[in-house]
Amino acid sequence: MAAFQTRLCVLLSVLSVGKVCALESYVAAVYEHAVILPNVSLKPVSPAEALSLMNKNMDVLEKAVAGAAAKGAHIIVTPEDGLYGFFFTRETIYPYLEDIPDPEVTWNPCTDPKRFGPTPVLERLSCMAKNKSIYVAANMGDKKPCNSTDVTCPKDGRYQYNTNVVFDAEGKLVARYHKYNLYSNEKQFDTPKEPQLVTFNTTFGKFGIFTCYDILFHDPAVALVTNLSVDTVLFPTAWINVLPYMAAIQLHSAWAMGMGVNLLAADTHSTFLHMTGNGIYAPDRPKAYYYNSETEDGRLVLAEVLSHPRLTSLSSVSWSEYARSIAISSSKSNQFSSPGSWDNVTFTRLDQAEGNLTTCQTTLCCHLSYKMVKRQDDELFVLGAYNGLHGSVRKYYIQVCTLLKCKSIGMDSCGEKTETSVTMFEFFSLSGTFRTSFVFPEVLLSGMQLAPGDFKVLSDGRLVSQSSISSRPLLSATLFGRWYQKDPPPKENAIKQQCSV
C-alpha cells in the first residue's frame, strides 16, 4: 500500500505543480548493528585511523540502507554508537568527531562536502540517503569549540556531544539532536545546557528524535510528544536489557502504546553487553521486532505504519480507578523481598492455580485476578509491587505492578533474568493504585516474544488478557509507571550519565 501511495504521489506531484502529496502510511526500517569496535587504547588514534574504522561500520550500514530502500522503505534508523562503539575517554573519542552544523543552514553534504570543512562521515551518510532516495537517521559525535567567555566551557576548549543526525531523501541535513540524558560511562560526552526538542516534517508525518536513556525521562521524550505532537519518534539506542521489566522490546513497545506514537527503535547488537532489541512499534501493537541474545548477527527489520497514528493513546486511562474502587488488602505474612531483583520489590507467591491477590509497597497496592490453565509445580510466579527510586547512578522514580515468573522455584531467584516459561494463564487482570498518569503496559511471552492482540488496557486502569493468551506461555505482565515529578532534582543526580537501566 505504501509503495502504491508513493507512486501515486509522484504522479500527482507531476500533474499538480507546487502541491505536496501526503502519504497515509509509509514503510519504516530499523537496523540492529553488531558494531566493529576499535582496539582498546588509552591514547587517541589518528583521524585517518578513526575514519578507517567508521568506514568499516558504514560499509555495513550502507548495505542495510540499500536493502531497506530496495524493499520500499521511506526511512531507516541506525543505532546509537553504530559508527565506533563504546568505552572512550574525552581524548580517545575526539578523532571520531565532526563539527555538525545546525540544519537551519540548509546543507547537503553529498553535493557540497567542503562547505564546512572536512566532514567525511556526514558526506557519506548524506550520499547514502541521496543515492537510495531514503531518509537516513544515524548516531555520531559532534564537536563544538568554546572559550573562556563561556563559563561552562570544558578545560579542553570544546563541547563533545552524543549526536543523532537525519538526512532527507535528497541527502539534505534536516535534523541534529544532542543527547541530553547521558549514562554514567559516557564521560566522553557533554550534557547540553538544555534538552532539545528536535522535529522535522515529511510527506508521511511529523517526526521527533531522541536517544536511548532519554526515553526514561520527561525531557525530552514526553515533552516532544505532548508539546509538539509528533507522529513518529526515531530512537537510536544502545540498550542493555534488564529483565524482568526493562528489556528493550518490552519497554519500547509499551512506551509507544502509552504515548500514542510510532517508535522506530534501532539497537546496537552485542551479546557480551546484553544489547539486542530492534523494533517498529505502533500505538496499537508492535509491527515488527528482533531479539537475539544468542548470536552476533545484525538484522534489518521493516514494517508499514500509519503516518498519523494518534488513535489509540492511553492518555485518557484512569490508571488507579479500578484498584481504588475495590476493597483490597494484603497479608504481610505472605510477602517477601528477593535479592534477585534490582529493586527492593515486594512479592507475593501465586500458590494456587487461580485466585485474587494484592501486594502493597508504601502507597502502591497492586491487585491481580488470575486463572492458570494448569499450575506447574516446577515454576514459581509472583505478584510484585515497587514504589520508589530506581537506578544505580542516575535515580528516577518508578511505580511498578508486575506478574512475573521467577528464575527457579526458589524465592531468592524472583527478579533474576529468565527468558522461558511453560505456564499458561486462562486469564489475568492486573491493576494498581498509581499516582502517575504515565503508565506503560507490558506483556512478555516465553522466548522473549511480545504479545500483540493478547491483552488490552481498560479505561479504569486494568491490564487484562485476551482469550488468545491461554495458548501461549507467559513470562511477565507489567504496568510500568514513571512518576516524573518525584525524580530527584538535577543537582542531586549525576550530571553525566551508555544506556543501561
Average pLDDT over residues 163-187: 96
The type of residue at 71 is K
Instruction: Return the residue matching grid coordinates 475495590.
Output: 326
Average pLDDT over residues 57-83: 98
Q: In which region does residue 494 sit, left (phi positive, over 0), alpha (psi from -120 to 50) or beta (all else)? A: beta
Cβ atoms of 261 and 231 within 8 Å: the answer is yes
Q: What is the per-residue pLDDT for 145?
A: 97
Q: At what angle do helices 47-70 and 120-132 cross, to 10 degrees?
A: 10
Q: Quick one: what percent of the chain has pLDDT higher than 70?
A: 92
Q: Which residues pair with 478 in a beta bridge?
A: 402, 442
Report whether the peptide linkage leading into residue 220 is cis, meaning its omega lies within 30 degrees of zero. Answer: yes
Q: Which residues pair with 236 in a beta bridge?
A: 266
Answer yes or no: is pLDDT of 11 > 60.
Answer: no
Cβ atoms of 383 and 365 within 8 Å: the answer is no
Q: What is the C-alpha separation between 501 and 482, in angstroms, rounded?
A: 13
| Least confident span in 42-51, 228-237, 388-397, 433-442 | 388-397
Q: Quick one: what percent of the chain has pLDDT higher than 90?
A: 84
Q: Which residues contact 178 (CB under 8 A, 6 or more apart)?
A: 142, 161, 162, 163, 192, 196
Reported as a pLDDT band with limits 50, 70 and 90, residue 270 is very high
Average pLDDT over residues 106-121: 97
Answer yes or no: is pLDDT of 5 > 80.
Answer: no
Domains in the chain, ordered, with CATH?
Answer: 22-306 (3.60.110.10), 321-492 (no CATH)
Answer yes or no: is pLDDT of 4 > 80.
Answer: no
Q: Which helix (H) or strand (E) segment is 442 a member of?
A: strand 439-445
Q: What is the C-alpha separation between 268 and 30, in angstroms, rounded?
A: 11
Active site residues: 80, 179, 212
| Least confident span in 121-135, 338-352, 395-409, 442-456 | 338-352
Average pLDDT over residues 461-481: 95
Burial 289-317 (b: 16+ CB within 10 A, else e): bbbbbeeeebbbbbbbbbbbbbeeebeeb
